[in-house]
Chain A
């Protein structure tokens, strides 16, 4: 257990993980044996991540929009979870984790979850059924497009949003996840991403920029009053995200072990220090500590913790958290000045957090290479921006992305769903 005392780097554990990735062989465990503790933790972590998407992200985003767009925003997370789950079953899982094809994508051997059953996989999760690993990973594939949906909130057609999420999960998510987690080219050159700093957060952030550019600003942006309609919802959502993130990062240890404990510890300390840092930065800059600032800082910290959770120590987590709170706050203030409407600040919190986390791995983790981490950020960021841009243009050209001016003014709850949140 000496590595757990190591205050910055969990070197030994990271080393083991790299070895496993590189050689695709597991020596410590007889193949095929399932550990009940590991299985219990992966199932519990999966449940935590479900709670992180619905209701966590749904409430977080739902509170941030105006009262005429509440349920239409909240249902995005629900609907995306449903659609991406089906996509994952058909081809998503195998495109990420199936046998590598040229370092770029996984083969179709596990399409329709063929042969994905009770037997563990020696590399991905040696002591739980591959099916449990598949389920856990499904939630990452669903969480990411649900995050992106914050960028075009309050003006997107429901059908267009679903089509975008489905296409994005196949065309953008699966290659990126394969590059880092399916023994793709980024993993082979030594880029590390413990739980999705690049796969989830950098990709979501850069996709969000594409969304803000293609879909365009909300009407009345920066002139109308567009304050969040329910701050208690935001706090509830941020709290549930925090809770769920223990599963998100802890489960990414792929077993109930010291790496999982370290990952949860890093997650927590990054979140608290980022929340405090944002609060203090805004207090100093604007004169008041805001509730939304504390919640936003915590979420930025959680996003930042993701890349290196299982590879760092608590002090590195605090350093990254402080950077996350301040940088994320500055990015969002700056966003207001350059004039693109990433409505719920997907780039400002998740994109910035993902990039910081990836860099943090490069500097603080025992086996991190700053250059490889930067390459991973550039590659995933560029690919997700371009991929999202193309998908959005395709959807816009076929069924149209944006609601009419009248629908936007009336609100999406009534015009997209014939319902309202508060009647």
Chain B
């Protein structure tokens, strides 16, 4: 099992969610986050005084999937979240050692 974490532009959330549902992903967790990569932040100017806002608002999507689904999930998120301009975000994949569905007590891939 893998946990796919995608940091994307907030306005792309709905498109990414719909695209993931289409390929059979059944659930996800979404968090509002702030951060920066190569985009750096943005500038605000008040009466000539410039402030650099380094941390840009982003949305983090977490999806737990079976190993075999990973390439398709990565491709889907990349496609749906892409604008082609700087700041589109990143996807990280990490190993998932266990999963439990709390209601039934199921474990492993059946709990996903």
Is A284 interfacial (CB 8 A cutoff)?
A: no
Is B46 interfacial (CB 8 A cutoff)?
A: yes
Which of A123-131, A136-144, A288-296 is the contact stretch? A288-296
Shortest beta-carbon distance, B57 to chain A, in Å?
A: 15
Is B32 interfacial (CB 8 A cutoff)?
A: no
Contact between chains at A332 and B51 (CB < 8 Å): no
Residues on B with C-beta less than 8 A from A293 are: 47
Is B44 interfacial (CB 8 A cutoff)?
A: yes
Which of the residues A228, A285, A329, A348 comes within 8 Å of B46, measured between beta carbons? A228
Contact between chains at A227 and B48 (CB < 8 Å): no
Shortest beta-carbon distance, B89 to chain A, in Å?
A: 24
Chain A window 277-291, contacts with chain B (Cβ cutoff 8 Å), 1 for yes, 0 for no: 000001001101010
Residues on B with C-beta less than 8 A from A282 are: 45, 48
Complex interface residues of chain B between 3 and 46 (CB less than 8 A to chain A): 44-46
Task: Count residues on chain B whose CB falls below 8 Å from chain A CBs.
Answer: 8
Q: How far is the CA of A389 from the CA of B46 in the complex (A)?
A: 28
Q: How far is the CA of A293 from the CA of B46 in the complex (A)?
A: 8
Is A345 interfacial (CB 8 A cutoff)?
A: yes
Task: Count residues on chain A whose CB falls below 8 Å from chain B CBs.
Answer: 18
Q: How far is the CA of A288 from the CA of B46 in the complex (A)?
A: 11
Residues on B with C-beta less than 8 A from A329 are: 48
Is A32 interfacial (CB 8 A cutoff)?
A: no
Which of the residues B44, B48, B53 comes within 8 Å of A332, measured between beta carbons? B48
Q: How far is the CA of A222 from the CA of B51 in the complex (A)?
A: 9
Residues on A with C-beta less than 8 A from B104 are: none
Residues on B with C-beta less than 8 A from A348 are: 47
A interface, over-half SS? helix
Q: How far is the CA of A286 from the CA of B46 in the complex (A)?
A: 11
Is A225 interfacial (CB 8 A cutoff)?
A: yes
Which of the residues A222, A228, A286 comes within 8 Å of B48, measured between beta carbons? A286
Complex interface residues of chain A between 221 and 254 (CB less than 8 A to chain B): 222, 225, 227-228
Is A159 interfacial (CB 8 A cutoff)?
A: no
Complex interface residues of chain A between 277 and 334 (CB less than 8 A to chain B): 282, 285-286, 288, 290, 292-293, 296, 329, 332-333
Contact between chains at A345 and B45 (CB < 8 Å): no
Is B49 interfacial (CB 8 A cutoff)?
A: yes
Which of the residues B45, B47, B49, B53 comes within 8 Å of A288, measured between beta carbons? B45
Shortest beta-carbon distance, A206 to chain B, in Å?
A: 20
Residues on B with C-beta less than 8 A from A345 are: 47
Shortest beta-carbon distance, A67 to chain B, in Å?
A: 15
Residues on B with C-beta less than 8 A from A290 are: 45-46
Contact between chains at B45 and A296 (CB < 8 Å): no
Q: How far is the CA of A332 from the CA of B45 in the complex (A)?
A: 12
Is A117 interfacial (CB 8 A cutoff)?
A: no
Is A37 interfacial (CB 8 A cutoff)?
A: no
Complex interface residues of chain B between 46 and 62 (CB less than 8 A to chain A): 46-49, 51, 53
Q: How far is the CA of A348 from the CA of B48 in the complex (A)?
A: 12
The chain A residue with its CB closest to the CB of B47 is A332
Shortest beta-carbon distance, B20 to chain A, in Å?
A: 36
Contact between chains at A336 and B49 (CB < 8 Å): yes
The chain B residue with its CB closest to the CB of A287 is B45
Q: How far is the CA of A259 from the CA of B33 in the complex (A)?
A: 60
Q: How far is the CA of A296 from the CA of B46 in the complex (A)?
A: 10
Q: How far is the CA of A383 from the CA of B74 in the complex (A)?
A: 71
Residues on B with C-beta less than 8 A from A333 are: 47-48
Contact between chains at A296 and B47 (CB < 8 Å): yes
Q: How far is the CA of A336 from the CA of B46 in the complex (A)?
A: 11
Q: How far is the CA of A292 from the CA of B44 in the complex (A)?
A: 12
Contact between chains at B51 and A292 (CB < 8 Å): no
Residues on A with C-beta less than 8 A from B49 are: 222, 336
Q: How far is the CA of A292 from the CA of B48 in the complex (A)?
A: 10
Contact between chains at A286 and B47 (CB < 8 Å): no
Q: How far is the CA of A336 from the CA of B45 in the complex (A)?
A: 12
Residues on A with C-beta less than 8 A from B47 are: 292-293, 296, 332-333, 345, 348
Shortest beta-carbon distance, B74 to chain A, in Å?
A: 36
Chain A window 335-349, contacts with chain B (Cβ cutoff 8 Å), 1 for yes, 0 for no: 010000000010010
The chain B residue with its CB closest to the CB of A329 is B48
A residues near B (Cβ < 8 Å) are: 222, 225, 227-228, 282, 285-286, 288, 290, 292-293, 296, 329, 332-333, 336, 345, 348
A292-B47, A348-B47 given; 8 more Cβ-contact pairs under 8 Å: A225-B53, A227-B51, A282-B48, A292-B46, A293-B47, A332-B47, A333-B47, A336-B49
Q: List 7 A-B contacts (CB under 8 A).
A: A227-B44, A282-B45, A288-B45, A293-B47, A329-B48, A333-B47, A345-B47
Cβ-closest 3 pairs across A and B: A333-B48, A332-B47, A227-B46
